[in-house]
A and B are shown apart, each in its own frame.
Chain A
């Protein structure tokens, strides 16, 4: 593994189903993030984690949950998917601190029908 990996690459999901998007980084970064990218809206922060064991809410957290059991993994769960959660989801990581570049994963394209 080099950098950040995300799985799956894409997924079509029926509304009401539960879905977990996986994110793993091998850079030993303290901080990790989940964004959704929507046309005309740019990237919006869903949840973040400054260090293993802690998480926080971003700009658009409703309908999503995260956990950070260890440094490397930061899964994003949709408990009951809705069509408005159709989006491209990016995971990112950075060294802790305000000045540090965030490194992004390849993204997961999710379609909720």
Chain B
């Protein structure tokens, strides 16, 4: 069965610090990978996605993620976080036709 593991449950950073959130998945076949963000009190929104091609994917709001097939990883990065990046971040992998498997999420708190 497919699964997604997010290593950090809570991350606290100061503004301008760099961010890297870990995501590992288990699946033997071709994968599609996603990062979603949930701002406080809001619904999930797509940050970025990887289907094929360039393993370095650029998303909205300065986020990027790198797919490393050999490590089964899809880590999310941002060079300099802002207070407005405070949110919960979910990694997800496609689990068969139309289905997504989500990780447990990482709560990011950015202090001014």
Contact = CB atoms under 8 A, between A and B. Distances in A.
A110 interface: no
A76 interface: no
Interface string B85-112: 0000010001011111111110000000
Interface of A: 31, 33, 35, 40-45, 48, 50, 58, 90, 92, 94, 96-102, 104-107
A100 to B, nearest CB: 8
A99 B32 contact: yes
Interface in B9-38: 9, 32, 34, 36
Interface of B: 4, 6, 9, 32, 34, 36, 42-46, 49, 51, 90, 94, 96-105
Most chain A CB neighbours (cut-off 10 Å) among B49, B90, B98:
B98
A50 B34 CA distance: 20
Contacts of A40: 9, 104
B100 A45 contact: yes
Nearest to A97: B98
Given A40-B104, A41-B104, A42-B105, A101 B99 contact: no
A6 B70 CA distance: 40
B99 A45 contact: yes
A33 B97 CA distance: 12
Given A43-B90, A98-B32, A101-B34, A58 B99 contact: yes
Contacts of B51: 99
A102 B100 contact: yes
22 contacts: A33-B98, A33-B99, A35-B102, A41-B104, A42-B6, A43-B44, A43-B90, A44-B102, A45-B99, A45-B101, A50-B98, A94-B98, A97-B97, A98-B32, A99-B32, A99-B94, A102-B46, A102-B100, A104-B36, A104-B44, A105-B43, A106-B42
